Amino acid sequence: MADKLIIVESPAKANTIKKFLGGSTKVVASMGHIRDLPKSKLGVNVEKDFEPEYINIRGKGDLIKSLKKDAKAAKKVYLATDPDREGEAIAWHLEKILHDDAKDITRVTFNEITKGAVQKAIKNPRDIDVNLVDAQQARRVLDRIVGYKISPLLWKKVRRGLSAGRVQSVAVKLIVDREEEIENFKPEEYWNIYIDLKDEKSKKQFEAKFYGKDGKKQEIHKEKEVKEILNNIKDAKYIVEEVKKGEKKRTPAPPFTTSTMQQEASRKLGFTLKKTMSVAQGLYEGVKVEGRGTVGLITYMRTDSTRISEEARNAAKEYIVNTYGENYYENRYYRTNKDSQDAHEGIRPTYADLYPDSIKESLTKDQYKLYKLIYNRFMASQMAPAIYNTMAVTINANEYNFKANGQSIKFKGFMTLYVEGTDSKENDEEKMLPELEEKQTLKLENINPKQSFTEPPPRYTEASLVKALEEKGIGRPSTYSPTITTILDRRYIEKEQRQLIPTELGKVVNKLLIENFTDIINVEFTANIENEFDEIAEGKEAWKQMIKKFYGPFEKELEKVEKELEHVELVEEVSDVKCEKCGRMMVYKYGRYGKFLACPGYPECKNAKPIIETIDVPCPKCGAKVQVRKTKRKRNYYICENNPASCDYISWNKPKPGEEWNPEDVQEIEKETKKVRKTAKKKTTRRKKASKK
């Protein structure tokens, strides 16, 4: 019989904790949530004050029996689930199920899985924080109501299986809005004039850029203006008007929050949000390190705080001073955003002496990359700023002004270890200028006028979308990854070279939602809802009251929309393809995998087929049409319409008349498309069987 029973979410976390505690302690895993709302119905009793109708999750019956048995045998049960709202809710559900079996049941939390943190938590148990549980319940119930009430409208008007969600629909809207900005963007012409100048003393050449006239900044929009300036400066003397020397400091970025870790892992490592969170979860729960056993390598990875403990601060100081020297250390405190849930620390390594390279052999490739990123970011956050020597020079040519800026690194500081990535093209590289003096004359080497055009805003990437969601107050650390995963899985958006692009299906769904649910699919509304969840977590608002306040107007809007849409059919786009079975002109429909052709005579005629794109170049082998298809990784390839019946032509490259093709492509393409073909074949077989019945 165990004196203590500790329940955590995962086996990995359980294994890490076991080694810190005595033999009379048993550590088991709940495998995440054990109770939830039913999938088959709303599961919220609207008539009875929005009471959730929780049920035990299917397939967890044996696990629940085992937990009950262990709880009965233990003198004390500790619920040690994650230190956030979701973890608090899991603990609350466990307490509800084990209440009749456990003699004494209590709650413990720790931000890092280290011996000291775990033992301290066991010595300082607490009650379950009902406010945190209520905040999670409010989110779960509200999202269930929105999803289960709006989704059926999408099923009727677009297709079955679609879903609407409070946060996911706003994320789709941001992506669709950005795409519309890009499509409607009208580029504007502008010019820059660059000059290459030479310092006769040092014989060094440098570049200056046109600034303006008589000290006032001037923008150039037309070639005519460029010619006027060039005529005025071609025979001018280039004289140094002003030289400003100074110093510039660059300070390090704070320790990671969930969103900044996701953004940086995307930029620097090419990780998806889902992959980043999965790898981080493994590092937090524990990795078997040679010579140390199973070790939790990082603090809890779902946080929007940049605060760090004094213990961690001291460990960072010791590492920095011993590795780089006293002048590289600077004790830093970072201000946490006013909207942050400051329950625990920023993301950092748990042991400063476990350097990334010293444990590389114990980690997978991805674990090593992310651990190194977290380790270096944290250590750099406690280092001295980088210092640059700067020089800003103004050069006059008649009444026109040119400017040149240069900088050189004086002290690398934190940049010795880590430099934060950005989504922009700007860089902070060194650009040296010769030692120039005021009133000095320079020699003109070259004039280079350059025409440019303004560019549309860039498409979102996973990293920049997370940044936008965070800045607008939409969602929280735990929601970013599942939100983007959901809208990708639903085929509302797709990813091309890391860019997020709305699909036709995504545009159709977005249009229907914003035209009919203006308040729900609204950035400000969604952000305000998040603030209300925070109020509930702080005990300032009752969660059922918040749901009641939301539900009244929502129900009226829903009834109004249902009546308005009752006799409205989405206008289907008619193709120029005739249905070979009944002669009607086929229409474009939207399915899980995008656009396809279907007969409008459904259900009398069930004919449907994929849209096949062809190119205007004939097959190099047999002269038939060449089709463009995509692999499961969305990569284009080209295949003869007679493949495999009578022609084996297939290639990665678009064919050119008379061009030789590479037969080695065949094996590689078939490997990438085999799974897609196999799945399609199974679906066709199932459809045929169903139609026979």
Active site residues: 300
Smallest CA-to-CA distance from 307 within 259, 256, 265 is with: 256
What is the amino acid identity at position 335? R
State how far the Cα of 525 lies from the Cα of 170, in Å rounded to an integer.
Answer: 10
Name the DSSP letter for residue 69: H
State how far the Cα of 613 lies from the Cα of 208, in Å rounded to an integer.
Answer: 50
For 206, how many CA atoms within 13 A lie in the half-sphere containing its CB?
24
Pairing mode, if any, of strands 204-213 and 441-453?
A: unpaired
Cα of first residue to Cα of last residue in the chain, in angstroms, is 58
State how far the Cα of 370 lies from the Cα of 266, in Å rounded to an integer.
Answer: 11
Smallest CA-to-CA distance from 496 within 175, 227, 138 is with: 175
Collapsed DSSP state (helix, strand, coil) of residue 44: strand
Smallest CA-to-CA distance from 382 within 331, 334, 308 is with: 331
What 3 state SS string does 616-663 have?
CCCCCCCCCCEEEEECCCCCEEEEECCCCCCCCCEECCCCCCCCCCCC
Across-strand partners of 383?
329
Smallest CA-to-CA distance from 468 within 488, 490, 491, 484 is with: 484
Name the DSSP letter for residue 57: P
Tokens of residue 335, six digits:
């201000």
State the Rg of the chain over Cα. Answer: 31
Smallest CA-to-CA distance from 337 within 257, 418, 280, 276 is with: 257
Tokens of residue 428, six digits:
């902070």
Q: Cα dihedral sign for 32, 35, 41, 44?
A: negative
Tokens of residue 663, six digits:
């037969």
φ/ψ of 624, rounded to 5, equals: -75, 180
Collapsed DSSP state (helix, strand, coil) of residue 468: helix
Across-strand partners of 351?
none
Report the b/e string of 308-339 with b at 16+ CB within 10 A. beeebeebbbebbeeebeeebbbebeeebeee
State how far the Cα of 471 lies from the Cα of 483, in Å rounded to an integer.
Answer: 16
Asked whether the beta carbons of 62 and 83 are under 8 A apart, the reply is no
Collapsed DSSP state (helix, strand, coil) of residue 553: helix
Collapsed DSSP state (helix, strand, coil) of residue 148: helix
